[in-house]
Structure 1
Amino acid sequence: MYDTILVPTDGSDRARTAARHALALADAYGATIHALSVIDAGDLGLWTSSDVPVEQVQDGLRDTARTAVEEIAALSEADSVVCETDVRIGVPAREILAVADDIDADLVVMATHGRTGLEHAILGSTTERVVRLSDVPVLTVRA
Structure 2
Amino acid sequence: ELGAYCGYSATRIARLLPEGARLYSVEPNMKHLAYTTTILDHCGLKNKVTMLGGILSEKIKYIKDVCGVHHFDLVFLDHIKDMYLSDFLLLEREGLITKGSVIVSDNALYPGCPEFLKFLQNNKDKYHSVAHDAMLEYDNNIKDQIWVTTIL
TM-score (normalizing by structure 2): 0.44
Which one has more relative contact order, counting CA pairs under 8 Å at least 6 apart?
1
Flag the structure with higher helix content: 1
Flag the structure with higher strand content: 2
